[in-house]
């Protein structure tokens, strides 16, 4: 069952720049929203977590059509401005065969007794929501994008103004030399030469 979030700030204290902690009830904190499997075989897994495993996400962790973290009636997305802290704990060992759901240790024993085939064992890590901060992430991203656009436009304007000034300077220099209708290339070359001497 997914965790449904109320992200309306309402009377919560704080500001969106530093993040406002969302209130989570016990069910929201106890619901497993993500499961990861780590091979028990050190040859196949170069890292073996221990204790608690922390993850951070800004969107839903569900796969496909099964959202696990919902805002309103849709899966949480980066546009919601949420920083979701997850904490994982190992719930036990399971056996995993291709195309099969995870098997408990007793199911693995029964399978091995019946088939005499080994079953690869994995640690099952279940992740629950530890905390959620609502931020102004989407607005900050938009402001940064607008700022970058403005910088680009300013740079283009400055470049255009520099070329215009160089062209006008070159035309004046050509006219001073007696050429009343210099080519654009000559005007720019003269403008650059005169500008370089200043």
Model confidence over 157-169: pLDDT tens digits? Answer: 777 777 777 777 8
Tell me how many domains the chain contains.
2
Identify the band that residue 189 occupies on the pLDDT scale cut at 50, 70 and 90: confident
- Residues 87 and 33 reside in one and the same domain: yes
Model confidence over 67-83: pLDDT tens digits? Answer: 999 998 899 988 888 99
| Single residue among 135, 156, 180 that ends a domain in this structure | 135
- Residues 63 and 129 reside in one and the same domain: yes
Q: Which residues pair with 87 in a beta bridge?
A: 54, 128
- Residues 104 and 41 reside in one and the same domain: yes
Considering only residues 116 and 173, tell me which one the structure prediction assigns the higher pLDDT: 116
| Single residue among 135, 167, 183 that ends a domain in this structure | 135
- Residues 145 and 129 reside in one and the same domain: no
- Residues 131 and 170 reside in one and the same domain: no
> Could you tell me the residue range of the domain that residue 130 belongs to?
3-135
Give the predicted TM-score (pTM) of the model.
Answer: 0.66
């Amino acid at each position: 069952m997914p965790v449904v979030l109320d992200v309306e700030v309402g009377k919560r204290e704080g500001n969106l720049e530093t993040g406002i902690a969302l209130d989570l009830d016990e069910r929201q904190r106890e619901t497993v929203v993500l499961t990861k499997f780590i091979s028990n075989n050190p040859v196949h897994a170069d890292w073996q977590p221990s204790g608690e495993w922390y993850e951070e996400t800004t969107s839903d962790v569900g796969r496909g059509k099964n959202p696990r973290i919902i805002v309103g009636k849709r899966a949480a997305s980066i546009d919601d401005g949420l920083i979701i802290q997850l904490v994982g704990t190992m719930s036990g060992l399971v056996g995993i065969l291709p195309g099969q759901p995870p098997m408990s240790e007793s199911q693995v024993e029964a399978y091995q007794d019946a088939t005499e085939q080994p079953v690869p064992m994995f640690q099952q890590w279940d992740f629950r929501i530890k905390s959620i901060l609502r931020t102004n992430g989407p607005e900050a991203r938009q402001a940064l994008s607008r700022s970058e656009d403005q910088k680009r436009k300013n740079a283009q304007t400055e470049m255009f103004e520099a070329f215009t000034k160089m062209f006008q300077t070159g035309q004046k220099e050509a006219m001073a030399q007696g050429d009343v209708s210099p080519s654009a290339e000559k005007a720019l070359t003269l403008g650059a030469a005169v500008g370089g001497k200043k």
